[in-house]
Amino acid sequence: MKIVIVGGVAGGASAAARLRRLDENAQIILFERSGFVSYANCGLPYYIGGVISNKAELTLQTPESLWNRFRIEVRTHQEVTHINTQDKMVTVHDLDNEKVYEESYDKLILSPGAKPIIPNLSGTDSRRLFTLRTVEDSYRIRDYVTENNPQSVVIVGGGFIGLEVAENLNDMGIRVTIVQRSDQLLDILDYDMATFTHSKIRQKGISLKLGSNVIGFTDEANGITTHLENDSDIKSDFVLMAVGVLPDSSLAKAAGLQLGIKGSILVNDKMETSVQDIYAVGDAVQVIHSVSGQNAVISLAGPANKQGRIVADNICGGDSHYKVSIGSSVIKLFDMTIASTGLSEKAAIASGFDCDRIVLSPASHASYYPNSKVMTMKVVFEKETLKLLGAQIVGYDGVDKRIDVLATAIAFGAKANQLKDLDLAYAPPYSSAKDPVNMAGFMIDNIARGVLKQFHWNEVDGLPSDGRVTLLDTRTPSEYARGHVNGFINIPLDVLRENIQKIDKSKPVYVMCQSGLRSYIASRILNLQGFDAYNFSGGYRFYSAVTKEQALCKGTYPCGMDR
């Protein structure tokens, strides 16, 4: 059997290696148009910043290593330009010597990946404008930085690549401006959770322009100008375009393969395309999101690796199926960690779910053990069924651990309140006896049982200010004095019972504290004494973080500047 693979990196290279482990006699040929067949795509921003100093460390496998260990024939700098599905032939362009030839196949695997989006704007052909997708791209950016000693850069786009490159260039002393068309960074997050990333970006001296639309670029004698719609131009030494990627499906389209959303290649759960004996994997394929049930394109290394393995199994007579696509992801942003899995609240609503959410601020480990740090966790679930829909966490230590637990729970169909039952490892340096994931389960179980009623940050402004409700802040007087929401009176939790007669039992009581714990206890005291009490989700800490960012980006304070 002769198997041709178009494209390496995660999907193609993993398929090739798995094929050899299953079939010692198959002829395996892998075509890669770049010079690198298997490399650490996610490590490219860190090479630009010098965190990874040795080029060789980016390369996971070479053509030589794949041949020596697996007898896989890798042909780099060779681009497959046409597929003859009837005769089962591919046309190959050798980019080194301009030779064009044909190669037959019994089975064909397409792993073309994705291509950076380059908007149709003037000036995008500037030599000072870069994109980052391949090893060669990272070399070009790194060489430009080391040879030209730039002082400033504009990064267009606030996704994973944009933020990782921003961090690395900022650490090199380059003045960074991020321009984002939407009103938040990291669109996988909800706005309220994204505000923590905005604050961190600004703390590090990076200028942030949210809700800004780029309309073109102009090369200057000593730099490049980025033109914004309804805003001032930005002059910088160079520009990185990081507005996203699209499936690189032109080869599949020309061959008549069926396409899906965003031009992705349509496959079934065995990774088979619409044409017999042709498979596709990775960033270029359409999958079914396991939570929403809707079509999706998920450009992440984990799914691509799994899909490569599944294709190899099926080619070699197995019966493997791609089952789970929930888009789990994590990113380092300076000393902060940001992670998500499943659906955000906005994505859940867009998918038709009647959902609710909780926000909590647990410690990374036992608070009495040194260096405990607070994380902010948001968990989204379906109201009626308690189906666990998704989660987002922003913090420092222990974020990745918790998001992986939540991703596992989602993958295996756990209900949100069942998080309370998970038996998770505990020792003071690592967790608390009630792990943050357990705490989320307790809170959701309380909601399901009617023990807890809550209100959220975006509902505060809508609360009546005419005395029809009581607004209660249960923090200490010193905490209250440092900042509070207008209209909330201060009765600390520990003296609430002694002052409960000051609260009108005929009115609903909306209770707030710093993190949500004391106000929950206060709500229980009130509810058990006949009051109609509601606990504020996330606490004043969360409210303050979100509303400050709202003010910054709605004109109260200029975006990119501190109060």
Q: Which residues are catalytic?
A: 42
Cα torsion angle, 417, 423, 424, 429, sign: positive
The CA dihedral of 357, 358, 363, 367, to the nearest 10 degrees, is: -170
Contact of 227 with 208, CB cutoff 8 Å: no
Residue type, 391: A
Instruction: Label residue 41 exposed, middle or buried (CB < 10 Å: 0-12, 13-18, 19+).
Output: buried
Query: Residue 142's closest CA among 231, 44, 229?
Result: 44
CA distance 527 to 452: 9
User: What is the β-pairing status of strands 245-247 and 278-280?
Assistant: unpaired
CA distance 328 to 315: 28
Task: Give kind and range of the element (H or E) at residue 473.
Answer: strand 470-473
Helix axes 399-411, 436-449, angle to 10 degrees: 50
Which residue reads 């939790």 in tokens? 493
Q: Where are the alpha helices (DSSP H) in 279-357?
A: 301-315, 345-350
DSSP label of 33? S
Residue 161 phi/psi, 5-degree rounding, is -65, -45
CA distance 493 to 512: 10
